[in-house]
Amino acid sequence: MNEPEATSCTDDGAILRGAVLRNGRCDTDAVKAPSEDDLSTSGSQDPEHEGAGSGDDAGTPTATAQRDRDEHGRAVASLRERNARRSGTGKKRPWWIEVPLLLITAFLLTFLIQTFLFKVYYVPSSSMDPTLHGALVGGDRIVANKIVYDFSDPKPGDVVVFRGPDRWAAEVIAIPGPTSILGKIGRTLGSVVGIAPAKEKDFVKRVIAVGGQTVECCDPQGRIKVDGVPIIEPYVAAGNEIPFTPGVDDCSRPLPSHRCFLPVKVPAGVLWVMGDNRRNSGDSTAGCQNNTPSSGCQGPVPIENVIGKAIVVILPVSRWHTLGDPGTDQRGG
């Protein structure tokens, strides 16, 4: 039940010296006990005090002053206790309760943010090198926007985080996983806040083609074609390409380059994704080289499997950069 707000700084009708009325509460921090002269004077003028007590000293100024000091102290203590109840500031919790509560609160807030808004991911493999570094060279931490695709579909050039379809093989993680129960619990909790690798079937790749487009490799210069037109891929480092030499090791030879795969018409509602490190990426093309799409290709990824769009590398600090649109829709000459 709410206590009534104070209208004056009194307790049992006695005005407290130095108390200030603020927002309906008496601020007793400035209250000081009255001097002996003040109390003895007021006591001598108080009819209730005259003749009080027993014995010769009961009505003396000294006894009256001591009695008034005691009453004043009780009044101040009562008001301070009342103010503490109103403000909710009672006895401070011990640190061994306060610290765990703060940690639990912070973890819950992080969990809610990463579940519904933005999620931090640890990049374990080198399949997106040099855009994203894997664990062997530090392991980038990226932020995935989980709500952006509620308003639009992924487009070519986007770097996306997604759950691998059942037919996809788990990507090789460059660091060994924990074997103990505590280690596995720690890794699970760490993956929630992005300080440990996520599940093995969570991938990060780049969208190359979307539903309705036809993707294939390669043109005479070894470039991927979308709808028959070669695309420019500035994010693929020269040393990360699968070997291809025009006229020697290309798609026209009886034993074509492993870079080559036949045209694939991407169905509606799915994405054709590839890693920037073409030499070391288990992506939509895995198993497609020199084969038809129905003969072992991992193939496209359903849009419903997409968790979010990777938008920025946040750690290590030296690696901070945004992941903008590199322009995969640019056409090569």
User: Active-site positions?
Assistant: 127, 205
Of 250, 261, 256, the C-alpha closest to 283 is: 261
- Residues 206, 157: contact at Cβ < 8 Å? yes
Using only the alpha carbons of the chain, give its radius of gyration: 37
Give the separation between CA 312 and CA 323, rounded to whole angstroms: 5
Contacts of 134 (CB under 8 A, 6+ apart): 123, 124, 125, 126, 127, 128, 140, 174
Q: How many CB atoms lie within 10 A of CB 179?
A: 7
Tokens 């996520």 sit on residue: 198
The helix (run of H) or strand (run of E) holding residue 61 is helix 61-87
Task: Give the Cβ contact number of residue 256 at 10 Å.
Answer: 17
DSSP secondary structure code for residue 276 in this structure = S
CA-wise closest residue to 136 among 87, 175, 165, 100? 175
Sheet bearing 214-217, strands edge to edge: 229-230, 224-226, 214-217, 261-265
Angle CA 301–306–309, to nearest 5: 125
313 φ, ψ (degrees, to nearest 5): -95, 120
Q: Provide the 3-class DSSP secondary structure of residue 48.
A: coil
CB 212 within 8 A of CB 155: no
User: In this structure, what are the phi and psi dihedrals at residue 207, rounded to the nearest 5 degrees?
Assistant: -75, 125
